[in-house]
Amino acid sequence: MHAVTLIKGDGIGPSIMDEAVKVINASGAKIQWEDAYAGLSAFEKFGNPLPDATMESIDKTRVAFKGPLTTVVGTGFRSINVALRQKYELYANVRPATNWEGVKTRYDDVDIVIVRENTEGLYSGLEHYLTSKKDIAESLAVVTRSGSQRVIEYAFKYARDNNRKKVTVCHKANILKYTQGIFLDVARETAARYPDIQFDEKIVDAACMHMVMNPQQFDVVVTTNMFGDILSDLTAGLVGGLGLIPGANIGDDAALFEAVHGSAPDIAGKNLANPAAVIMAGVMMLNHLGEFEAAKRIKLAIEKVVREGKYVTPDLNLQSTCGTKEMGDAIVAAMG
Ligand code: NAI
Ligand code: MG
């Protein structure tokens, strides 16, 4: 039995997480869910967007499965997601984007894994006004050699362990010579220790153009926090949108699994949200827990449902009248 902290989250969170839990429970994986709260729902319930009980649960389970959070404005917390990633030192945010059979997009051979530095950079949280009139503000990007080392090492090791051929570092060291310079230097040093993995460097703006025009040249991409945030929505767009892309936040002694997308207030409460992204995050979690059989069953089932195209939400098929729940039911049924 694996104890997992379950945070259903805000907006579309509860509806997609209910489907994910249903699918995982039906897969044969042995999970004991511990309900916990964070984000807007926690703020409304307990007056605190990140209650101690939630952290006590993660302290114990070391594995969390999380829906998207709406970050409450004006509570002193800048972002609960950032706070959790920093507290548990979840330094590698792994976001795979692969074409799906049955989802028509511009390309059919995209297979990119973004490994985003997840604890520092421009999202370090060091932001303030410089004047009482609040007309000048600054944000500090903090890049450390050790912080760069652990995520870049993770990316190369991930490439080697997953039979990937190439790691591309995306950076802006031409302008941000010190912060981005450290990251690029560490990438070069690390690449030298992995002679079996091809290494490429791209300046991030040019990388965006290359990714849109010729995504096949990318395999594993390692980059700093904000660039990884942006590039992973770009790669989501290449393969059919945010409804499909999972993410794993990995640290040395804790991990948190979630979709790349947010709480989607524009479609919340309408039974329209695609549960696939968060279910695929569940697949990543099961692999992390060693539940390989269950992970494979779910992956095959969800691929079948998407390929057949009948029980998919409207983001994948505009004609579809299938909702979040019906798609979840179809995935359970496809597991046989
Ligand atoms: P978003 O990712 O929630 O939505 C962007 C667009 O994608 C919307 O049109 C939405 O309808 C669509 N979309 C997202 N997920 C979908 C799904 N599963 N199925 C179908 N369509 C989907 O980004 P947005 O609107 O910028 O942010 C909304 C809130 O979410 C904000 O409060 C933001 O801070 C939060 N957020 C939380 C994240 C997390 O908890 N990890 C990540 C990103 C944003
Ligand atoms: Mg994002």
How confident is the model over 32-68, as pLDDT tens digits?
999 999 999 999 999 999 999 999 999 999 999 999 9
Calculate how far, in angstroms, residue 106's C-alpha sits from the geometric centre of ligand 1.
23
Q: Which residue, judged by its Cα, is nearest atom 38 of ligand 1?
A: 262
Ligand nearest to the Cα of 66, by number? 1
Which sign does the torsion angle of CA 307, 311, 315, 321 carry? Answer: positive
Work out which ligand 1 atom sits closest to the CA atom of 259.
41
Kindly state whether residue 94 falls inside one of the protein's structural domains.
no
As a whole number, mean pLDDT of residues 119-135 equals 93
Q: How many CA atoms lie within 13 A of 156 on its CB side?
A: 21
Residues with CB under 5 Å of ion ligand 2 are 229
Residue 233 is predicted with a pLDDT of 95
Residue 73 is predicted with a pLDDT of 75
Which sign does the torsion angle of CA 236, 215, 187, 189 carry? Answer: positive
pLDDT, the chain, mean = 96
Ligand nearest to the Cα of 249, by number? 1
Which of 204, 239, 274 finishes a domain? 239
Residue 71 is predicted with a pLDDT of 82
Residue 314 main-chain phi, psi, to 5 deg = -60, -20
Rounded to two decimals, the pTM is: 0.95
Residue 125 is predicted with a pLDDT of 85
Calculate how far, in angstroms, residue 262's C-alpha sits from the geometric centre of ligand 1.
3
Which of 197, 212, 239 finishes a domain? 239
- Residue among 43, 50, 261, 317 whose CB has most ligand 1 atoms within 8 A, to mutate: 261
Calculate how far, in angstroms, residue 151's C-alpha sits from the geometric centre of ligand 1.
25
As a whole number, mean pLDDT of residues 144-155 equals 98
Calculate how far, in angstroms, residue 230's C-alpha sits from the geometric centre of ligand 2.
6
**List of residues 6+ apart from 132 with CB closer than 8 A:** none
Residue 76 is predicted with a pLDDT of 65
- Split at pLDDT 50, 70, 90, the class of 138 is very high
Calculate how far, in angstroms, residue 136's C-alpha sits from the geometric centre of ligand 2.
25
Which of 224, 239, 254 finishes a domain? 239
How confident is the model over 213-239, as pLDDT tens digits?
999 999 999 999 999 999 999 999 999
Work out which ligand 1 atom sits closest to the CA atom of 67.
40
The answer to whether the beta carbons of residues 113 and 96 sit under 8 Å apart is: yes
Residue 195 is predicted with a pLDDT of 97
Residue 75 is predicted with a pLDDT of 65
As a whole number, mean pLDDT of residues 238-258 equals 96
- Residue among 65, 263, 279, 322 whose CB has most ligand 1 atoms within 8 A, to mutate: 263
As a whole number, mean pLDDT of residues 268-282 equals 97
Q: What would the two tokens of residue 238 be?
A: 């290449």
What are the pocket residues of ligand 1 if the criterion is a CB atom closer than 6 Å to any ligand atom?
Answer: 12, 16, 68-71, 81, 242-243, 258, 261-267, 273-274, 277, 315
Residue 294 is predicted with a pLDDT of 98
- Split at pLDDT 50, 70, 90, the class of 317 is confident
Percentage with pLDDT > 70 across the chain: 99
Residue 318 is predicted with a pLDDT of 83
* Residue 21, pLDDT above cutoff 90: yes
Residue 77 is predicted with a pLDDT of 65
What is the domain range of residue 149?
106-239
The reply to whether 35 and 112 lie within a common domain is: no
Kindly state whether residue 97 falls inside one of the protein's structural domains.
no
**List of residues 6+ apart from 217 with CB closer than 8 A:** 200, 210
As a whole number, mean pLDDT of residues 18-41 equals 97
The reply to whether 123 and 231 lie within a common domain is: yes
Strand partners, 155: none
Calculate how far, in angstroms, residue 264's C-alpha sits from the geometric centre of ligand 1.
4
Kindly state whether residue 110 falls inside one of the protein's structural domains.
yes
Residue 319 is predicted with a pLDDT of 86
Report the catalytic residues: 123, 172, 205, 229
Q: Which residue, judged by its Cα, is nearest atom 5 of ligand 1?
A: 264
Kindly state whether residue 101 falls inside one of the protein's structural domains.
no
* Residue 185, pLDDT above cutoff 80: yes
Query: CATH no. for residue 271?
Result: 3.40.718.10
The reply to whether 138 and 221 lie within a common domain is: yes
* Residue 74, pLDDT above cutoff 90: no
Work out which ligand 1 atom sits closest to the CA atom of 277.
18
How many structural domains compose the chain? 2
- Residue among 37, 43, 66, 242 whose CB has most ligand 1 atoms within 8 A, to mutate: 242
The reply to whether 136 and 37 lie within a common domain is: no
Ligand nearest to the Cα of 262, by number? 1
Q: Which residue, judged by its Cα, is nearest atom 36 of ligand 1?
A: 262
Kindly state whether residue 250 falls inside one of the protein's structural domains.
yes
